[in-house]
Structures are given as C-alpha cells and as structure tokens.
Amino acid sequence: MKKLKFIGNPLLQSREKINMSSDKKWLTLKTTEDNEEFVVEESVAIMSNVIKNMVEDGCASSVIPVPRVKGNAMGKIIEFCKKHTEESDEKVLKEFDAEFLNLGPDALYDLMVSANFLEIKVLLDSVTTKVADMIKGKSSEEIRNILKIENDLSAEEIEESRRENCWTRQE
Amino acid sequence: MNQKTWPNSADTSHYTALSFYHKTRIDKPQNNRPHKRVSSTRRWVWVPKISPEAESRPSDPKRDFSMLPNDIIVRIAGGFNHPTLEAASLVCRAWCDALRPLSQAMRFLAWGKKYKHGRGGVEVDHERALDYFLRGVARGSTLAMVDAGLLYWDMGKKEEGMKFYRRAAELGHPAGQCNLGLSYLQIESPDLKEATKWLYKAANSGYVRAQYQLALCLQHGRGLKRDLCEAAKWCIKAAEGGYVRAMYNTSLCYQCGDGVAQSYQQSKSWMKRAADRGHSKAQFEHALGLFAEGKLKAAAVYLELAARAGETAAGHVRTALFEQMSPTSQERTIQLADNWRPLPAVH
C-alpha cells in the first residue's frame, strides 16, 4: 500500500484536498531511496531552489522524484520549510529553529547534506550555524569527539599547520 | 541556475540511513469538535521517528563529517575567530585542506588591520589594507567582508561598503547584519524597513550592539512603532551582554521609569557598572550620586576619571571639590585615578 504523508493536520488537509484545484497548488515529492511520498504546497516546496527551477522550467510533473534524500530527513525539511513560509516574525522563527535543530550530530549531518543538495539556503544557513556554535571555542580533540571524526593527520602535518598559523597567533 | 536535472555533486557523500516510522492514529481533530467515529474518516499518518537510539544504532552507517563538501566546511567555519579556526584546521586532513583558504584569509585580515590602524611597525595605508581585506573576502571569510565594508564606509564609498555588509549579513554574520541595518539608517534616504529587519536578525542572534540600536529605534519610534517597554527590554539585554552604552541607557530607564518600573537602586547599580567600564558620562553621574551620599573621596576619583575622559563639567566640580580636600587626599585621588583600569566590556 502506498504510504502518503500529509504534512500538518491530516483531517484539515483531507478537506483541503477536495478544494485542491481551487487556489493552492500541490506537489508530491517522492524520495526515490525509500519511496516515501510527501504532499506539500508548491509555495513550500519551492523554498528548494532546485525544485523551484524544475517548476519554473515546466519540467516538474505532479510527482517529483527526489534522489539522495531519505524519508525522515525529507519530513523534517518540509516541516522547516512550511514554518518558514507561514511565519514572518523573526523572533518566532528564531525560537522555532532553536528547538527544531536540537538534534544530534547525525541528524544535523543529514539535514545539512540534504539542504545543500536541494539548495535550501535558509535551512543550510541555520544548520551550519548550529554546527558552528557546537564547536566554537573547542579544541581539535573536542571537535573530533563531538562530530565523531577520526584524526588522520600525521604529526608532521600537524606541526606544519601549526607553523603556518604561528605568526598570526603572535599578532 | 537553470537546470533540468538533479545536481550531481561528486563529493557529496552517500548515506543510507534506515528510516524508522511509527503509525499514529489521529483520533481527535484539533478544533475540538466531537469526533464522529466513522471508519472512512479514520486517518493513519506515518510520522517519522527520529530518536537518539535510532541514530546511534550499530547497523546505521556513520555520518562522516570529514566527508562533507568543502563549501559546507567553509560555511561552518566562515565566522570563526583565529583560535577556533586553527583548532578546526587540525581536526582531520579533509578539514585542514578545506579550511586552508580561510586560514590564509585570517592572515590577510591580520595584515589588513595592521595597515588600517598603522600598527606593528607599518604606517596607515588604507588602500593596502583594503587590498588585504578583499583577498580575505575572496577566500570566503565573513570577518574580512565586514572589515572591507567598514573600510569602504570610512572612505566614503557607502554603497560599496553596504554591498560587503550584505554579503556577510546573508551568510548569517551578526556584525554584518548589524552594520547593514545601521547603514540603512544612516544613508541619505534611509530604508527603515530594511534597517529594522537586519537589526532584528542581529539582535536575535545575541549581538549586543544591534540589541542596543534596536532599543534606540524603539525609544525614538524610528522605523518601528514607539514602544518603551520593548526598548527597555532590548536595552537591558544589551547591558547584560556587556555593552557599556546600554548600561548607561538602562540606568536612565530605571531612573525615569521609561518602560520599566522606576527603581533608584537599579539605576544606581547600572550607572556604577557603566562607570567602572569607562563610560565618561556615567562616571560623572555616579560621582554626583556618591557626592550626594557624602562619599567625597570616592566621588573625587570618579570626577577625576570623568574629567580625564573629556567631561568638562566634571572637571569644574572636581576642582571645586579639591579645594575642600587636604593635599594628601588630593594626591591619593590622583594616584587612584592613575591606577584605575576599566573592567572588560563591549564598546
């Protein structure tokens, strides 16, 4: 059975679906990796520059296949885009983003890569800012622990990098 | 960008995360009308479940931050100061390579600042400073963008300056956003809507200078509807963040009861905090407060500090006070003023 996702209140959207042809345009985004389908308003979907270009160029059918993005990441992305389309108060959006991005490094990684791929500037900025804040003021070892990165630099490479940066430290 | 196919960025890492869903039956409509239990209206919704346990399950492939595309790594580190940038460059080879341009940008930034202020054995040379800042900008440094903007603005090329502020602002740099907002207020035909938009962005990021400027706009009804309560709120935020001018302004708000409940206690406390951080007017007013309480020696020190900072009225009062003091006390006052250092703050 096909699994359809309605973002938002499904009961409300079932009523909206009947009136779908009236004023709002809807798109179905289908993640090709796991075959999840998401029905979203076009105004929300075009926050992705890539989807926007496809729609404007007229090469988007009613179902747009989206490679590389997993269903759970797509759901989060649509939730973000919907909020940012509906809300214009900076303060409210700031609070929403703070809560929305209260995720572990793995989820943030998925969002970052997907936002980059789909060219959603606002989301990419928010996630990269969040990651930057997580590692600001930390040592290399601490950064590695937070983001679970393995150190593959040799002692010579570390020394060379330190020497390169040494004179600026003296400023 | 006009493209009909999906972008094929070869350096984007592939990930095959498993997705976990659970079914939720929506029984109660959100408008609280009594629910009619009819089978055709029952809705099943697949809600994505992202839990920490799912993320760290052994069967999940690791999200490798070292495999991020270079431009994302640069975006993350774009606003880092030198120590954090150095630490980030030493995380792994991929990050070292990706951040090399930014590290170079840091070096150009340092040289640019030297030539701008005439420090470290070089003379002031704005053209050269600008050249260095632009080289930093070319390597993606948002700090360099703000500095280039500042220099252009100082040179009178306001439009150029604003272009660079905008670049930094759009990349999320709070100083860039604040400066952009301020420039929209200061140009010949001010754009108040844009000004307040960018000031709000910077203020919400916690940038104290923007919070203070926003408070001023709200106090004077410039670009925003006059709202003393909101103004006081932002002013206090900036003051608590260490912005000295905001501390002085907060003291005045409490003194007059502008947007906050009048409180001489709070007013005195904030005035002292501003005075201890070098605000000359605050030093003068704090001295007058101390004088009124009979603490003449302490008053004399603050009057001396205020006079040295350029408050002529404070100089007159200090002279009058000195006439009432013994030579030893006068000497002691000068000594204390000589040894005084302002507490750390944001100016």
Q: Is A43 on the interface with B (CB under 8 A)?
A: no
Please check whether residue B231 lies inside any domain of the structure.
yes
Q: Which of A110, A105, A108 is nearest to A97 (CA)?
A: A108
In chain A, positions 152-171, which contact chain B (CB-CB < 8 Å)? 152-153, 157-158, 161-162, 164-165, 167-169, 171
* HSE value, Cβ hemisphere, 13 Å, CA-based, for A67: 7
Which percentage of chain B shows pLDDT scores above 90?
Answer: 61
Distances (CA, A) of B206 to A18, A91, B148, B216: 45, 12, 23, 16
With beta carbons under 8 A apart, name residues in chain B contacting A49.
Answer: 1
**Cβ atoms B165, B143 nearer than 8 A:** no
The whole model's pTM is what? 0.69
Provide the number of CB pairs (under 8 Å) joining chain A to chain B: 183
Mean pLDDT lowest among A55-59, B179-183, B217-221, B301-305: A55-59
B90–A153 CB contact, under 8 Å: yes
**Domain identity same for B129 and B226:** no
Q: Name the DSSP letter for residue B346.
A: B
Residue, of A168 and A144, whose pLDDT is higher: A144
Each residue of B6-54: pLDDT tens digit?
A: 555 444 443 333 333 444 444 444 444 444 444 444 444 444 444 444 4
Q: Do residue A128 and residue B48 have CB atoms under 8 angstroms apart?
A: no
Helical ranges in chain B per DSSP H: 52-56, 70-77, 82-89, 93-117, 126-138, 142-154, 158-170, 174-186, 192-204, 208-220, 228-240, 244-256, 264-276, 280-292, 296-308, 312-323, 327-339
CATH code where residue B208 lies: 1.25.40.10
- Helix or strand holding residue B44 (H, E): strand B43-48
| Chain A environment of B9 (Cβ under 8 Å) | 116-117
Cα–Cα distance for residue pair A168/B107, rounded to 1 Å:
6
A149: distance to nearest CA of chain B, Å?
6
Interface check for A143 against chain B (CB to CB < 8 A): the answer is yes
Is position B179 within any domain? no
Do the beta carbons of residue B63 and residue A105 sit within 8 Å? yes
How many angstroms separate the CA atoms of A10 and A20, rounded? Answer: 14
Please tell me whether residues B224 and B268 are part of one structural domain. yes
Interface test with A, best of B6, B85, B170 (most A CBs within 10 A): B6
ipTM of model: 0.81
Runs of H (alpha helix) within A87-136: 90-100, 105-118, 121-135
Q: Nearest chain B Cα to A134, which residue?
A: B76
* Cα gap B233→B51, rounded to integer Å: 37
Burial class (CB in 10 A: 0-12, 13-18, 19+), A117: buried
Number of domain units in chain B: 3
pLDDT tens-place string over residues B311-324: 999 999 999 999 98
Q: Which of B250, B276, B302 is the last residue of a domain?
A: B276
Q: Please check whether residue B54 lies inside any domain of the structure.
A: no
The C-alpha atoms of residue B224 and residue B198 are separated, in whole angstroms, by: 13
CATH number of the CATH domain containing B91: 1.25.40
Q: Which of B26, B55, B77 sits opposite A104 (nearest CB)?
A: B55
User: Domain range for residue B219?
Assistant: 191-276
Does residue A37 sit in helix, strand or coil? strand
Please give the distance of CA B179 from its chain centroid, rounded to a whole number. Answer: 10
pLDDT tens readout for residues A23-63? 678 888 888 888 889 999 989 999 999 999 888 888 767 78
- The H-or-E segment that residue A147 falls in is helix A140-147
* B28: in domain: no
A67 touches chain B (CB under 8 A): yes
Please name the member of A14, A76, A149 whose beta carbon is closest to the beta carbon of B92.
A149
Contact A11 B41 (CB under 8 A): yes
Q: Do A168 and B110 touch (CB under 8 A)?
A: yes
pLDDT, one tens digit per residue, over A9-19 is 554 444 444 44
d(CA A155, CA A140): 14
Asked whether residue B258 falls in the same domain as residue B201, the answer is yes
Has residue B26 been placed in a domain?
A: no
With an 8 Å Cβ cutoff, is A148 touching chain B? yes
Claim to verify: residue B155 and residue B207 sit in the same structural domain: no
